[in-house]
Amino acid sequence: MNSLKNLFENQQAVLADGAMGTSLFEAGLQFGDPPDLWNILHPDRVRAIQRRYIEAGSQIILTNTFGGTRFRLKLHKLDGRVHELNQAGAENLRAEVRASGKPVLVAGDIGPSGEIMAPLGDLTFDAAVDGFAEQAAGLAAGGVDLFWIETMSDLDEVRAAIEGARRAAPQLPIVCTLSFDTHGCTMMGVTPETAAKFMRDQGLFAGGGNCGNGSDEMLEVVRRMHAAEPELIVVAKSNAGMPVLVKGKAVYQATPDEMGEFAVRARALGARLIGGCCGNNQNHIQAMATRLQDTEYEPQAPAAAGAAPAPAKKAPVQRVNRRRAT
Ligand SMILES: [Zn+2]
């Protein structure tokens, strides 16, 4: 906890990493392959992605364990290997950080179960807690500094993930980000204000948004969360714009310069932990690092949000499924 706290004492904004999923596809992962298995099959390739984020200036990096619950691994008949795959994911990143000699923190990535919670769906709260606790125990055994629960839509599922993480390793701080991808709310209708209050009530270290529909909508999420809970450390990990399909592949169009600009604007609106989600690579993170360093911090009052982005234009692009890869 102290090292995480210390990071925020000396600077207004801390830099996280960019995408893992889209980077894995570039490294040869095939659609439908279980990314978490690469912690065992290709640790070198996973570590190479993380090394580039360290070199670009990321101060907190996520493990390659987004799909590491039994619920998702079951789809690949890997649900008997939850502990092993998560521990390996944490150990790989820990080794890469050690080799860099930099004080980068290792965040154990916990993604959504992919199931719908009862009573709407089949996943009971207790079963969800058990599943998340099992993943968190593997991550803790591999030596993570914190847990990062991400791309969530349903606060019941988040509550289960928090309870599971605390059961496995009560001493570790928790960061949580939701995906506000549906008219400014999550798919399950959670507003930024409700999310911010929930995260404060739960005693999380930090909370905010990841993924979503590009940086303009993310800036609005930041503004609203910060206005609702000024004491919350707000997180902004935006996709590199909206994906378009090019020859069957999702291509994200925001340039490193644009994401550098996003980082500065997110900081001005109150975000203190900033990074990229789908479509961001080390060049985007490098641009964010440079712009955050070279631009003076000038807070923008929430009331002055007229200067904040207008609601995102409806771009005539084909939506692609982003939930599999962050
Ligand atoms: Zn994403």
From ligand 1's centre to the CA of 18, what distance in Å?
A: 9
- In this prediction, residue 250 carries a pLDDT of 83
pLDDT, one tens digit per residue, over 241-253 is 999 999 888 899 9
pLDDT, one tens digit per residue, over 45-88 is 999 999 999 999 999 999 999 999 999 999 999 999 999 999 99
From ligand 1's centre to the CA of 208, what distance in Å?
A: 13
pLDDT, one tens digit per residue, over 133-152 is 999 999 999 999 999 999 99
Rounded to two decimals, the pTM is: 0.93
From ligand 1's centre to the CA of 282, what distance in Å?
A: 15
d(CA 165, CA 187): 23
Question: What is the pLDDT confidence band of residue 316, given thresholds at 50, 70 and 90?
Answer: very low
From ligand 1's centre to the CA of 82, what distance in Å?
A: 22
- In this prediction, residue 313 carries a pLDDT of 45
d(CA 108, CA 235): 16
- In this prediction, residue 249 carries a pLDDT of 83
From ligand 1's centre to the CA of 127, what distance in Å?
A: 26
From ligand 1's centre to the CA of 131, what distance in Å?
A: 22
Q: What is the mean pLDDT of the chain?
A: 93
From ligand 1's centre to the CA of 280, what distance in Å?
A: 9
Higher-confidence position of 2 and 169? 169
From ligand 1's centre to the CA of 275, what distance in Å?
A: 11
Domain boundaries, the chain: 2-307
Q: Taking residues 201-216, what's their average pLDDT?
A: 97
Residue ranges of the alpha helices (H) in the chain?
2-9, 21-26, 38-41, 43-56, 70-73, 82-100, 125-141, 155-168, 192-201, 215-228, 256-268, 282-294
Q: Give the per-residue SS3 of 252-275.
A: ECCCHHHHHHHHHHHHHCCEEEEE
Higher-confidence position of 325 and 111? 111
Q: Taking residues 261-277, what's their average pLDDT?
A: 98
CATH class name, domain 2-307: alpha beta
Q: Taking residues 116-129, what's their average pLDDT?
A: 97
Cβ atoms 36, 92 nearer than 8 A = no
- Please tell me the least confidently modeled range out of 275-279, 291-295, 317-321: 317-321
